Amino acid sequence: MKVTFLGTGTSQGVPVIACQCAVCRSTDTRDKRLRTSIMIRCDDDTNMVVDTGPDFRYQMLRAGVRRLDAVLVTHAHKDHIAGMDDVRAFNYQQQQSIPVYGTVVTHESLKREFYYAFGEQKYPGVPRLELRPIVAGETFRVGTQSIIPIEVMHYQMPVMGFRVGNFAYITDAKTVSDESKALLKGVHTLVVNALQEEPHISHFTKEEAIAFAEDIQATTTYLTHISHRFGKHEDIEKMLPEGVYVAYDGLVIDTQ
């Protein structure tokens, strides 16, 4: 299974509009972060994208994606769903609707945000989205791949993480229940949000993300959802223990 980091930034991305901090002015390409998203390519050639943020169109073009088999949605904040309309390009190319997996609450938000895609009389060319509900802890399948949705809390908002084999993707987490941690035991590769070093109301800090990875005994961990307040990529790398890395846009990893 191959995982491509389509974006590794926060809701504002990096650089942030009008910001003149050292990170936003960095010339290191690893400090250019689109909104957080990944693509999972399975052994059966199934392509899944987790979240379709505002940068979705460019992320698909930049990664050269020509087929999309499913969208997995973590939650309905705009930086995770705003690009959903551009799924229609795949509808046209593949001549079929695209399954969108998310909780009932997330689906209701999608129906409000993209109301024109769900009306009885649809305008020609609107995205064709097949909403498939998921429940935390209940396995579902995309192609031949089994996926476990895992609930974490983004302050007071439930967010779905996903475990695919020995790979797990957790974003926008601040607290994780013991029940959810149990579903993550044995994960080899973990991707988890680490917003910054300073405490935040709804996101893991660097130390919280590392402690979480240690708690579930992940073998290898990649930090994502990085803020410009965290620092430059090369500086963050120097702070991390063995087995923990900073993800960056365009990074591709092989996992089980």
User: How confident is residue 123, by pLDDT bands cut at 50, 70 and 90?
Assistant: confident
> What value does the mean pLDDT of the chain take?
97
pLDDT of residue 37: 98
Which has the closest alpha carbon to 130: 118, 142, 141?
Answer: 118
pLDDT of residue 121: 83
pTM above 0.95, yes or no: yes
Dist. CA 202–CA 95, nearest whole Å? 39
Q: What mean pLDDT comes out for the span 133-140? A: 98
pLDDT of residue 33: 98
CB atoms within 10 A of CB 221: 24
Dist. CA 213–CA 208, nearest whole Å? 9
pLDDT of residue 44: 86
Q: What mean pLDDT comes out for the span 192-197? A: 97
Q: Is the pLDDT of residue 217 over 90?
A: yes
CATH fold of the domain at 2-254: Metallo-beta-lactamase; Chain A (3.60.15)
Dist. CA 176–CA 92, nearest whole Å? 39
All structural domains of the chain with their residue ranges: 2-254
Q: What mean pLDDT comes out for the span 179-189? A: 96
pLDDT of residue 120: 85
Q: What mean pLDDT comes out for the span 115-130? A: 92
- Contacts by residues 166-172 (CB-CB < 8 Å, ≥ 24 positions apart): 166/255, 166/256, 167/1, 167/3, 167/40, 167/191, 167/255, 167/256, 168/218, 169/38, 169/50, 171/36, 171/51, 171/74, 171/224, 171/225, 172/74, 172/75, 172/77, 172/80, 172/202, 172/203, 172/225
| 3-state secondary structure (DSSP) of residue 36 | coil
In tens, the pLDDT along 20-61 reads 999 999 999 999 999 999 999 998 899 999 999 999 999 999
Amino acid at 64: G
φ and ψ at 248, to 5 degrees?
-145, 160
Dist. CA 180–CA 159, nearest whole Å? 12
Dist. CA 209–CA 211, nearest whole Å? 5
CB–CB of 223/209 below 8 Å?
yes
